[in-house]
Chain A
Amino acid sequence: MQPVDTKKCGYAVLAIALCMVVFAGEYFVYYSDTFEYDVDVQWNKDSIDYQVESSGSDVYDAVLLDNNGKASVTELAIYVNESYSKYYDEANETTRIPYNNQDYFASQILIALDNRGFDDGFKCDSSELCEYVRSTLDNPVGCGILVTSYSLPAEIYSGSEDDILIQWIKAGGTLYWTGSVIGEFCVDGDGLHEIQDSQDLFFGKECVYTGSEAVATQVVNNGFTEALSLKTGNLSFGLCLDSIDGALGLGFEGEGVSTIGMVPLGSGFICVFSGEYDIDLIDDMGQVISAGITPETVVMEHHVGTVTRSIESGSFEEYGESSHVYIYIGGTYTKFGEAFYGSM
């Protein structure tokens, strides 16, 4: 019998061990239930009780919000502009617009929403968007449209106050916008058309920041930034909310511009996220939309805690009739969340 080469065995063991670390990691990434999270809320007569559960060690935030009667968005259509690339260069000549991959952008937003318990979002192309606006025009309350493109189909928006989209917002719909000057272009069979005074149409004044790149210098001091762990600091295409009635700024601000601006229009509202496509922007969108923020929303109470391989509980003692709760796990890098709308 040949003697065992212990050194050779040692190298084999080392190689196998290192391979196993990689394959074990693969198992954790794709096949295991190592990472489990859950949150729950119980509405009682005198309090709202909540529970947060994590298989790991995480920070969590429980936020009591009140919309003062305004409905949150519970259904979101994300516009994927099929002619985005076709007219991009033309639009970019008028205003510098950071290029984004429409479909990928929409997919990332849907993932961010889904991880925060908002599962009623979907992508739509131009014809589907028009159909969605028309079909919900009678009662668009709770409906949202998210636009990451620089243009809209002329069928619903051509720069007139009579446009279906404007009517839809005034009837209670919500328009989320990012990455360009809101409503600056529309597209029809003849091509791209620039719309003058589009900002007046939406906000009653010119208020979109189109200057060279700038960043925020302070936190908007109303509790939302901390409560929702908002992150974007880039002010591009953000709104200057000074002297706009009923407007709400969130996140950060600089040069009078808020990174997230909400402006009421009729019964509905418009929300503009500043900045260019990146992970922080996606996360901010996920937080704001999932948490059901409207221009009427106020942060009533904000709890921060740590949950370590267990279940943590807490409660809100004072709340209003239109209060709701948003709980998320992971803080700056939110990995799980859910909003709860309920009653006693």
Chain B
Amino acid sequence: MEACERSDPIGGRICSRLCSVKHPILLIIVAGIVIRLVLMSASMVYDLDYWAVVIRNIESGEGLYDAEGYYYTPVWGYILGFIAACQSMLLELGEVAVRVLEAFPVEIIPETYYTATAPSIAFIYSVKIPLMIFDLILAYLVMVLAKDYTGDSKKAVLAFAFTFLFPVLMLSSGVIGMPDTIAAVFTILTIVLLRKDMPFLAGASFSLAVLTKFFPVFMIFVFVAYLIAKNRGNPRRGVSQVSMAVAGALLATLIVFAPQIIEGNIEQCFQFIFDRTSTVTGGTMFDSIVSILRIVAYAVVLVLSIYLAMRVVRCKPEALDKSLMKTCLIIAALCLVYPPTTQYMVLIVPFLAFWLTCGDSRYLLSWKIMAIGSIVYVFASNALTIMPLAVWTDLISIDTVVAVFDWFNTTLVGSVSIRSLQFIAGGIVQCIGVVSVFYIMYGDRLRGMRGSAVERTGL
């Protein structure tokens, strides 16, 4: 708290105000839920439309991969299956989507992912509310870690607030409707379980994190290093714990992939990765360069994560937990420098919230930059996000929505429009937010000052 007030008067005032409330966590939960429930009516319809397709395919008996529509590893698909079952058994959704004639032109705007299909408001909420629950679990787990590390309940509440109210998280789950929060939950749960000496469940949890979204895979070396370092005085126990974690991960992986292994089409599960790392058939030279750069970037992250893990192994026991969280923050930031997409950045949310409350309040700057960047970025599709509201309610007309979108999409110079400028600006600001993490972490060293930021605040 003091550190918070010292370096950031406004943030400090917010902290003070929050902590003075009798039940601050209740206030944060209510605020976070209310904001999300309002935001949910706005949607990145392209993604929500795909979830409607996936659920249709599941209900048709086509599983996840037989019929076109699902391109990720299976975990999110299974959760959509769970949501589909709940919809089927408990809800009355009616028609889940309609085609909007007036919005057809958005589908042929080059280099964009827009659709003229408007999912129903009921369908949108039925998919996003489960994501909100994962947001809540994520914030709770960060709070648990903060309390464990500092023993300070107020800092724990702040960690909860900075997670649950982080616009990146709210927009990813509440507007875009992406499952990155689930990957973040399983990643943080892995850390909690590793610290509590439950390596088997930690391994299973890590497996589900990676099989939801790919990025946590770069943390594997750090987690193994943590177990080895933690049991340095008892190598046999260390080996046993690593083995248990591997067993848990393998078992969870086997269960997740069982249907695809049986059907012999497991390669379909990794289309998401190949799409983002392979060169596109018929693509331009630019596409090829971007793909190659992406492979190079991930290779660099891989090498750096191994290097960082080796540092964790050499860490002193009293600094081990601190080192684990710090290394995870660095790896998350490394993964997210490019592409700076809001939903991907969810992985950094828990680590950033943890560090800015428990380590160095200067990370609040990164938090703010990412928050602004995500808002600019997500609403680059501006009026289209409220197309479902226009179609399914009388709050606004479709013509107005399309007219506003057209205005934003009017080209200024060449193919540059306000929409594309906003999109690029949002991405750049988010990227700056991620880079600022490195600046705060290593800036002191770069300037030749003594001691790292963390040592200075003395967590």
Contacts and interface: CB of A to CB of B under 8 A. Distances in A.
Interface string B29-67: 000000000000000000000001101101111111011
Interface stretch (A7-15, A126-134, A240-248): A7-15
A180 to B, nearest CB: 15
Contact of A35 (B59, B75, B99, B252): B59
A25 B198 contact: no
A35 B117 contact: no
B276 to A, nearest CB: 19
A264 B105 CA distance: 31
Contacts of B94: 57-59, 306
A82 interface: no
B58 A22 contact: no
Contact of B77 (A29, A32, A115, A336): A29
Contacts of B95: 59, 331-332
Contact of B84 (A30, A35, A279): A35
B74 interface: yes
Interface in B53-93: 53, 55-56, 58-64, 66-69, 74-75, 77-85, 87-89, 91-93
Given A56-B59, A56-B87, A59-B94, A22 B256 contact: yes
A252 interface: yes
Contacts of B82: 21-22, 24-25, 28
Given A11-B198, A216-B104, A233-B107, A26 B92 contact: no
Contacts of B137: 14, 18
Contact of A333 (B97, B108, B204, B256): B97
Interface string B89-125: 1011111111101001101100000001100000000
Interface stretch (B189-197, B330-338, B344-352): B189-197
Given A19-B208, A22-B75, A279-B53, A35 B97 contact: no
A55 B92 CA distance: 11
Contact of B117 (A23, A216, A231): A231
A71 interface: no
A256 interface: no
Contacts of B78: 22-23, 25-26, 28-29
B282 interface: yes
Nearest to B87: A56
A72 to B, nearest CB: 22
Contacts of A8: 196, 198
A11, A16, A34 — most chain B CB neighbours (10 Å): A11
A223 interface: no
Interface string A19-61: 1011111111110101100000000000000000001111100
Contact of A26 (B52, B74, B93, B104): B74
Nearest to A306: B94
B406 to A, nearest CB: 13
Contacts of A35: 58-61, 84, 88
Interface residues of A, number: 56
Nearest to A229: B99
B186 interface: yes
A24 B255 CA distance: 11
Given A57-B87, A333-B53, A18 B104 contact: no
A15 B193 CA distance: 8
A308 B58 contact: no
B281 interface: yes
A331 B56 CA distance: 10
B88 A55 contact: yes
A162 interface: no
A213 B106 CA distance: 12
Contacts of B58: 28-29, 35
A99 B78 CA distance: 31
Interface string A215-234: 11111000000000001011
Contacts of B88: 34-35, 55-57
A234 B196 contact: no
A111 interface: yes
B341 interface: no
A332 B53 CA distance: 10
A57 B208 contact: no
B101 A216 contact: yes
Given A18-B186, A216-B104, A279-B69, A11 B192 contact: yes
Nearest to B92: A57
Given A56-B59, A99-B282, A215-B107, A332 B189 contact: no
Contacts of B196: 7-8, 11
A335 interface: yes
Interface in A312-344: 330-336
Contacts of B192: 11
B259 interface: yes
Nearest to B108: A213
A18 B140 CA distance: 14
B185 interface: yes
A282 interface: yes
Contacts of A30: 63, 259
A217 B101 contact: yes
B169 interface: no
B368 to A, nearest CB: 31
A252 B56 contact: no
A333 B52 contact: yes
B117 A26 contact: no
A108 interface: yes
Nearest to B77: A29
A112 to B, nearest CB: 8
A19 B97 contact: no
A65 B259 CA distance: 40
Contact of B79 (A22, A58, A115): A22
Contacts of A309: 89
Nearest to B96: A333
A232 to B, nearest CB: 9
Contacts of B201: 12, 15-16
17 contacts: A7-B196, A11-B144, A14-B189, A16-B201, A18-B137, A18-B189, A24-B82, A25-B85, A28-B82, A28-B85, A34-B88, A115-B62, A215-B108, A216-B101, A279-B53, A309-B89, A330-B59
Interface of B: 52-53, 55-56, 58-64, 66-69, 74-75, 77-85, 87-89, 91-99, 101, 104-105, 107-108, 116-117, 137, 144, 185-186, 189, 192-193, 196, 198, 201, 204-205, 208, 252, 255-256, 258-259, 281-282
Interface of A: 7-8, 11-12, 14-16, 18-19, 21-30, 32, 34-35, 55-59, 99, 108, 111-112, 115, 213-219, 231, 233-234, 252, 279-280, 282, 306, 308-309, 330-336
